[in-house]
Amino acid sequence: MSEFAGLGANLGMSTGMIPITAPPETPKLPPREWVKANLFSSPFNSVLTVVASIIILAITRGLMSFIFNPQRQWDATATNLRLLMTQAYPEEQYLRIWIATAVVFTLTGLSLAVWRAGSAVPLSDVGRRLLTFGGTIALLVLLAPFSVRATIIWLVVAVAVAGGGEALRRLVDDERTMSTLGILLIGLSGLVGSLWVIPYGNHTFQLHRTPRVLAEPGTVALTTKLPWTVMLLVAVAAYFLGIFIRERLPTNAPRITLLLLWLLMPPTLLYLVLRDPSFDMGHVLGTDIPIFLVYAVLGGALLNWLARPSTGEIGRIVAALVLVAAFAAFLTPMRMIVRLDMLVLAAFALAAPTFSGGPRARKNYVIGWLGFLGIMSWLVTAINTPSTVKVPGQFFIGGLSLTLIVAVFTIVISFPLGLALALARTSNMPIFRLLATWFIEFVRGVPMITILIFFSIMVPLFLPPGMHLGEVAAVIIGYSLFSAAYLAENVRGGLQSVTRGQHEAAEAVGMTTSQKTVFIVLPQALRISIPPLVGHCIGVFKETSLLAIIGLFDVLFIARSVMPNQTEFMGSTKENVLFVSLIYWIFCYQMSKASQRLERRTGLGER
């Protein structure tokens, strides 16, 4: 461990929370020599410097005059922020959005604390960053087409920032450090604080014959300043709660609980909080809960017996019979939930020998079954219950929320699928391997937009009469299949890097193939493939923009096709799309930075 960490440090990676040997100090050159060494070391280099500075100045100048051109309608984005975030989610139900956000923030705060995120930065470094930041602002201000007064005000701000940084750098001794989380908190507080001061625009959503957004001057800050302040406080409180938990409880239990909560969060927020299903209690009590109870009790007993090591072969035969029964049940007309439960029970029964063991292992396995069954039953019930949120159009929420929902669900669904495909492709069973290979190669050879078009318009064709699938659901299924093929290739790289010795050792201990895969191979393979998997997640998030082509109301569609058609903001596409690209950029850049930090902290890239 330590030698790998040292290797990471020597390659110029900076230190994380785990103390690793510091990189050799690069001697700090005085400014004049630094300029000479880095910019004018040779005639060719000097020419390059001049050319590069001209390019940089031209780009910056162009960008600034584009942004601050008086013709730009930045009001369009400011006024339509709510539309961009949630489309036409009804005003009176908006509390649901805030609750959902609060849940996300709480989990984030808890996780940050429990996983000890963030690192300590010397205050002098912060000072240097501020100095550079102030300098950049000053440069931008000088290049922007501002009035004299605005230029002077901004210059004063820039000089103040730079001066603060310089003061911090000079006055504070080198030993004082600050947490990166603290810096983040200061930044976010500044942002939230600005909501109370700066008017960002306002809108009203009008539900007439053609629903549309009417803009009026005012402040979005009026409607969001309080919620955002509460969100920030919730996150901070959750962080301190997390620290309390971290100090009092053993490490693993809170982490596993949190992971489960993260996994449960998307369906819960979408189907219970945001969609607000109006449950028919009579039906739930009379049908759904009894079915669940029957399966819970009988299935639990069966699994408990199957997971007993002494059960032996009889258990396998019974499990195979359950599978046959499940398929027979699936082909007979019954309630869908009964058939699905049976299939899941068969899968659990087949997997039981892999997880067999003492009373404790059996208890865990049965609890897993109960949890899975419960969540699945509840989800199926919730999905099939009509929503109280009435929104014109197809799906009850749109904008950035839809983008995030599709991205998260796609990743969650495609993960097990991709894992199965990767295992099948690397297995030594020819039919599995062939099917997986053909599927993966086919999907990877075809552009995503054709698959999305196929799923958005063709799925109704393939469904039996009487069965319905919303367009968003169909698209998520298609997107998951697409993403699973790519994910499988990423995981395959990890699977292939697990050495032969690991396989052989596992077999020597007497593990079955499935035990070897689940307990030995997969954990190692997944650990290695974390960096490409994060890259894959970024890709999935970026490609959700393709939803705009098939006409779903994602953030890009609203920015490109809805907002420029409002009478007040005719032809504001450029501004809106630039804003959307900023949103995407912030998300993707942060994710890629986070994955680099993770790689550095765990030394993943080095082994």
Partner 1 sequence: MTAPTTHERAHQRVPLWRDVIVLKWVAQVFLLVVVLSTMFFLATQAGDNLRARNIVSTFDFLERPIDIQLSEGIDTHPDTGARALWTGMVNTLRISVAGIFFATLLGIVVGLARLSDNWLVRRLGSMWVETLRNIPLLVQMIFYFSVLTTLPRVGLGTGPINGWFHISNKGISMPRVFIADGFYQWLMVVGVGAVAAHYVRRHRQRIQDETGAMTSPILWGIGTVALFGLIGIFVHPMFTWMGGIFGAIADLLDSLPIIAPQILFSVVALGVAARWISRFLTDHRSVRGHLSLSDDDWFRIAFAALASLIIVFVLVRWTGFSSWTLNSGRDLFHVLEDKFNVDGAARPFDAMRPDIIQKSRFPNYGKNGLTMSIGFAAVFFGVVFYTSAFIGENVRGGILAVPKGQSEAAMAVGLGRGQVLRHVVLPQAIRIILPPTGNQYLNLLKNTSLAVAVGYSDLVQIGQTTYNQTGMTLPVVAIWMLFYLSCSLSISVVVNWFNVRMKLVER
CB 16 within 8 A of CB 119: yes
Q: Is 52 in the site for partner 1 (CB under 8 A)?
A: yes
Considering beta carbons, is residue 444 or 607 the nearer one to partner 1?
Answer: 444
- Helices 252-267 and 95-114: crossing angle in degrees, nearest 10, is 160
Tokens 């804003």, residue located = 579
Comparing C-alpha atoms, which of 107, 24, 109, 119 is closest to residue 598?
119
Residues 450-469 that bind partner 1 (CB under 8 A): 450, 453-454, 457-458, 460-465
Beta strands 202-206 and 177-179, pairing class? unpaired
Choose the stretch contacting partner 1; rule: CB under 8 A; options: 111-119, 372-380, 492-500, 570-578.
570-578
Which sign, positive or negative, has the C-alpha torsion 357, 358, 361, 363?
positive
- DSSP states along 387-404: BS---SSSSS--HHHHHH
Q: Is 540 in the site for partner 1 (CB under 8 A)?
A: no
Q: How far is CA 580 from CA 501, 556, 559, in A?
A: 49, 7, 7
Expressed in percent and rounded to 5, the helix, strand and coil fractions of the chain are 75, 5, 20
Site string for partner 1, 495-524 (x = CB under 8 A): ------------------x-----------
Considering beta carbons, is residue 221 or 563 the nearer one to partner 1?
Answer: 563
Shortest spacing between CB 498 and partner 1, in angstroms: 19
- Cα–Cα distance measured from residue 272 to residue 260, given in angstroms and rounded to the nearest whole number: 17
Considering beta carbons, is residue 276 or 507 the nearer one to partner 1?
Answer: 507
Choose the stretch contacting partner 1; rule: CB under 8 A; options: 78-86, 230-238, 283-291, 443-451.
443-451
Considering beta carbons, is residue 114 or 484 the nearer one to partner 1?
Answer: 484
Site string for partner 1, 56-95 (x = CB under 8 A): x---------------------------------------
Q: Which residue type occupies 577?
A: V
Q: What does residue 42 show for φ and ψ, rounded to 5 degrees?
A: -145, 165
Choose the stretch contacting partner 1; rule: CB under 8 A; options: 23-31, 231-239, 316-324, 333-341.
316-324
Among 441, 497, 509, 565, binds partner 1 (CB under 8 A): 441
Beta strands 212-216 and 202-206, pairing class? antiparallel
Considering beta carbons, is residue 138 or 453 the nearer one to partner 1?
Answer: 453
Choose the stretch contacting partner 1; rule: CB under 8 A; options: 93-101, 275-283, 470-478, 579-587.
579-587
Beta strands 177-179 and 120-122, pairing class? antiparallel
Choose the stretch contacting partner 1; rule: CB under 8 A; options: 169-177, 251-259, 376-384, 544-552.
544-552
Q: How far is CA 219 from CA 81, 506, 572, in A?
A: 11, 64, 20
Among 149, 431, 466, 508, binds partner 1 (CB under 8 A): 431
Q: Is 448 in the site for partner 1 (CB under 8 A)?
A: yes
Considering beta carbons, is residue 240 or 438 the nearer one to partner 1?
Answer: 438
- The token duo for 519 is 């307990």
**DSSP state, 174?**
T
- Cα–Cα distance measured from residue 525 to residue 490, given in angstroms and rounded to the nearest whole number: 10
Site string for partner 1, 32-51 (x = CB under 8 A): ------xx-x---x--xx--
Among 437, 502, 515, 524, binds partner 1 (CB under 8 A): 437
Considering beta carbons, is residue 255 or 503 the nearer one to partner 1?
Answer: 503
Among 18, 120, 261, 549, binds partner 1 (CB under 8 A): 549
Residues 108-167 that bind partner 1 (CB under 8 A): none
Q: Is 548 in the site for partner 1 (CB under 8 A)?
A: yes
Q: Is 432 in the site for partner 1 (CB under 8 A)?
A: yes
Q: Is 447 in the site for partner 1 (CB under 8 A)?
A: yes
Q: Is 545 in the site for partner 1 (CB under 8 A)?
A: yes
Among 183, 243, 261, 578, binds partner 1 (CB under 8 A): 578
Choose the stretch contacting partner 1; rule: CB under 8 A; options: 112-120, 245-253, 266-274, 424-432.
424-432
Considering beta carbons, is residue 87 or 224 the nearer one to partner 1?
Answer: 87
- Cα–Cα distance measured from residue 348 to residue 318, given in angstroms and rounded to the nearest whole number: 12
Choose the stretch contacting partner 1; rule: CB under 8 A; options: 23-31, 81-89, 379-387, 571-579.
571-579
CB 16 within 8 A of CB 601: yes
Number of Cβ within a 10 Å radius of residue 207: 13
Helices (H) and strands (E) in the chain, counts: 27, 4
- The token duo for 370 is 């109960």
- DSSP states along 312-323: THHHHHHHHHHH
Considering beta carbons, is residue 254 or 478 the nearer one to partner 1?
Answer: 478
In 172-211, which ranges are continuous DSSP H helix?
Answer: 180-197
CB 322 within 8 A of CB 349: yes
Considering beta carbons, is residue 341 or 543 the nearer one to partner 1?
Answer: 543
In 427-543, which ranges are continuous DSSP H helix?
Answer: 430-444, 448-462, 471-496, 500-508, 513-515, 522-528, 530-543
Among 147, 313, 500, 508, binds partner 1 (CB under 8 A): 313
> From the centroid of its chain, how far is CA 208?
36
Q: Is 556 in the site for partner 1 (CB under 8 A)?
A: yes
Shortest spacing between CB 424 and partner 1, in angstroms: 9
Q: How far is CA 69 from CA 65, 66, 78, 88, 582, in A?
A: 5, 5, 16, 30, 18
Shortest spacing between CB 347 and partner 1, in angstroms: 13
Q: Is 571 in the site for partner 1 (CB under 8 A)?
A: yes
Among 236, 588, 598, 604, binds partner 1 (CB under 8 A): 588
Q: Is 488 in the site for partner 1 (CB under 8 A)?
A: no
Considering beta carbons, is residue 33 or 91 the nearer one to partner 1?
Answer: 33
> From the centroid of its chain, how far is CA 199?
30
What's the N-to-C CA distance of the chain in angstroms?
10
| Residue numbers at the binding site for partner 1 (CB under 8 A) | 38-39, 41, 45, 48-49, 52-53, 55-56, 313, 316-317, 320, 429-435, 437-438, 441-442, 444-450, 453-454, 457-458, 460-465, 513, 538, 542-543, 545-546, 548-549, 556, 560, 571, 573-574, 577-578, 580-581, 584-585, 588-589, 592
